[in-house]
Amino acid sequence: MANELRLVEAIRQALREEMARDESVVVYGEDVGVSGGVFRATQELQDEFPEQVYDAPLAEAAILGMGVGLGATGFTPVPEIQFASFAYQGFHQLVQHASRMRSRTRGTLGVPMTVRMPYGGGIRALELHSESFEAGFAHVPGLKTVVPSNPSDAKGLLTAAIRDPDPVMFLESTSRYRAARESVPEGEHTVPLGEAEVVREGADVTVVAWGAMLHEAMSAVEDAEADAEVVDLRTISPMDSATILESVRKTGRCVVVHEAPRTGGLAAEITARINDDALYHLEAPVERVTGYDVPFPMFAREEAYRPDEERIRRGIERALSA
C-alpha cells in the first residue's frame, strides 16, 4: 500500500511512525510543538505524543548540545533547526561533541541524534535562510549527511537516520517541501544511508545531483540532445563513490550539479574521486554546474544564482563537445 504525499508530509509520517515504535525518540526545536514547525513538518505531533514533542528556546547551541546529552543517556533525539544556516551557532556541539563521541569513548558510546533542517533556495526567503552548507557538514568525520530529493526517499532515509546509532544531518530542501505529491509506502519503509540511486539510465554522460537540484537536472536531460544517465546521490557522507564511478566508466563524461558555492563544494570532491579511480575512462573533463562564490543573494537575484535547466543543459553540452 502507498499514499500520495508531499515531502513535508512524508517527513511527518516518518516521525509519527518512529515515535510510535520507540518511546525513546524525542522531537524538539523552535516552534515544533504548538505551532507544528516553521514548515509544519511536525504539525499535530505534540497532540499525539505529548511526552515526546517539545518546544525549545531560541538557542541553537543549546538545542544541539541537549541532543548530545540525550543521545548519550539512552534517548533518540530528533531536533529541528529552523534553517540550516542557524546551525552555525551550534556547530561546536556537532564538531567537538556529537561527531567525536564514538571515537572518544573507544566505541562504547554514540549519539543517535538526527538533526533535521531546511536548506537551499527557491522560496524567496530572507537573508540567511537559503544556505546550502552540505559540504561543510560532510567535511566533519563522524557526521553522516543526508539530502532526500523526493517524498518516498524522505520517509525511508529519515527512518534509517533515526535508527542509526550515530549523528546524522538531515537536510530538507525548502523548495521541495510542497512541490508535488508522490507515492510513499505505508508502514515500515527504510532507505539505507550511503547508497546513491541511478534514477535515469543513459550512455552518453553522467549527471550527478541531489535534493532540489536533482529535479532541475532531470528537466535538463529531458531536453538535452544526449542519452544522459542521472545519479541521485541521496547521502552526501558517506558518499556512494562506487555508483558514480560505475556510471562514469560507462559514459566517459560527467556533470555534477549543486546549488552550493563552487569553491570547496562537493563537485570538487566528486571530481577528485573520479580522477583517482576512473581517470582513464574519461573522454572529457568533469563539468561543475554550481552556485557562485558569493553569499546567497536576496530574492531578486535568487534565480540567477541557482543552477537551472538551461545552465545544466549547457554544462552537458560542454561535456559532450570536449
Q: Tell me whether residue 139 is one of the annotated catalytic residues.
A: no
Is residue 173 within 8 Å of 26, Cβ to Cβ?
Answer: no
| Pairing verdict, β 25-29 and 53-55 | parallel
Catalytic annotation, pick one of 129, 189, 215, 258: 129
User: What letter represents residue 34's amino acid?
Assistant: V
User: Where do we find the cell 561543510?
Assistant: 136
> How far is the C-alpha of 143 from the C-alpha of 157, rounded, in Å?
15
Cis, peptide link before residue 238, omega less than 30° from 0: yes
Is residue 109 within 8 Å of 102, Cβ to Cβ?
Answer: yes
User: Which ranges in the chain belong to alpha helices (H)?
Assistant: 7-21, 45-48, 60-72, 91-93, 101-104, 134-138, 151-163, 212-223, 241-251, 266-278, 302-305, 309-321
> How far is the C-alpha of 12 from the C-alpha of 303, rounded, in Å?
29
Catalytic residue ranges: 129
